[in-house]
Amino acid sequence: MAQNEVLLRVEGLSVAYGHINALKNVSLEVHRGEIVVLIGANGAGKTTLLETSLGINTPNSGDITFKNKSISGVPADRNVRAGLCLVPEGRGVFASMSVLDNLLLGAHHNMKNVGKNLKRVYQWFPRLEERKNQVSRTLSGGERQMLAIARALMSAPELIMVDEPSLGLAPIIVNDIFEILVHLNQEGYTILLSEQNAYKSLKCAHRGYVLETGKVTLSGTAGELLNDPGVREAYIGA
Partner 1 sequence: MQTFIAQVINGLSLGSIYVLLATGFNLLLLVAMIIHFAYPQVVVFSMYIAWVVLRYTGNSIVLAVLAAILSSVLLNLISAPLFQQVMKNREEVDINTTMVLSLGIGMIITDVLSHGFNKGLPIAFPSKLIGETPILRVGLISLQGGQVASLAVGVLAVSGIFLLLYKTRPGRAFRAIAEDPNGARLVGIPLLRTGFESYALSGVLGGLIAVLLAMLLGYSSPGLGEQVAHKVLAVSIIAGLGNLVGGLVVGLALGILEALVQGYISGSWSNAIAFVVMLLVMLFKPRGLFGIKL
Least distance from partner 1 to the Cβ atom of residue 75, Å: 7
For partner 1, the closer of residues 88 and 214 by Cβ is 88
For partner 1, the closer of residues 110 and 175 by Cβ is 110
Cβ-proximal residues to 227 (8 Å cutoff; 6+ apart), any chain: none
Least distance from partner 1 to the Cβ atom of residue 227, Å: 35
Rg (CA), the chain: 17
Binding stretches for partner 1 (CB under 8 A): 51, 54, 56, 75-77, 79-81, 85-86, 88, 92, 94-97, 101, 104-106, 108-109, 111, 151, 155
**Long-range contact set of residues 127-132: C-beta below 8 Å, sequence gap at least 24:** 128/99, 128/103, 131/99, 132/98, 132/99, 132/100, 132/103
User: How many Å apart are CA 37 and CA 145, to the nearest integer?
Assistant: 18
For partner 1, the closer of residues 164 and 228 by Cβ is 164
First to last CA, the chain: 32
Least distance from partner 1 to the Cβ atom of residue 69, Å: 17
For partner 1, the closer of residues 54 and 173 by Cβ is 54
Q: What is the dihedral of CA 4, 216, 181, 129, to 10 degrees?
A: -120
Least distance from partner 1 to the Cβ atom of residue 55, Å: 9
